[in-house]
Amino acid sequence: MKFSTTNISEVLLISPIIFRDHRGDFLETYRFAEYAAAGIDLDFVQDNHAGSKNGVLRGLHYQIQQAQGKLIRVVSGEIFDVAVDLRKNSPTFSQSVGLRLSDQEKKQLWIPPGFAHGYYVLSDWAEVSYKATSYYAPEWERTLLWNDPALKINWPLLSKDHPLLSENDLRGCLLKEAEIYE
């Protein structure tokens, strides 16, 4: 696997080695020793899987306690994945990483604890699977408003209409009002 830094050095893009032949392809999606050598040596305690149709935007979610590191992988389709640094004392506080992930390239995105996460579905359907370093705790979940101008996220919206959002995501707060990590 190849581990590449993004514009926020702790957020890593992971490119697998894909073995292809006349039967199809094979790749490893996780090997502890390689991830640990790249600095990702946290225990994963929960796997999540979501399917969404075109135009759905999920996020930007984070947990104010029990912060979750996430290892994101697209099983089918294509998404625009976003991580926002919410670590108050970080030199990249409020900055974001936004990358396209697809089932074709099979790349993963490592988002460490202390970041909000969200994604927008670009394909007709997308299935996203991710490992988390802490359990989901609804009492600690918070949501940033996906289109807060302070975040300067350039979402590649497929139409001029707003994305499809959950009620929770519609009520997201602005960064200036958000509870953030110390």
Catalytic residue among 35, 62, 119, 130: 130
pLDDT band at 182 (very low <50, low <70, confident <90, very high): low
In 3D space, the residue among 22, 16, 154, 163 whose CA is nearest the CA of residue 84 turns out to be: 154
Task: Give this prediction's pTM.
Answer: 0.94
In 3D space, the residue among 18, 9, 6 whose CA is nearest the CA of residue 102 turns out to be: 18
Q: Is 61 a catalytic residue?
A: yes
> Can you read off the two tokens belonging to residue 92?
């990249």
Instruction: Please give the average per-residue pLDDT across 45-73, as a whole number.
Output: 97
Domains of the chain, earliest start first: 42-177 (2.60.120.10)
Q: Is 162 a catalytic residue?
A: no
| pLDDT for position 67 | 96
Percent of the chain with pLDDT over 90: 95
In 3D space, the residue among 94, 80, 155, 114 whose CA is nearest the CA of residue 10 turns out to be: 114
Catalytic residue among 61, 62, 117, 181: 61
- Sort strands 108-111 and 19-21 into parallel, antiparallel or unpaired: unpaired
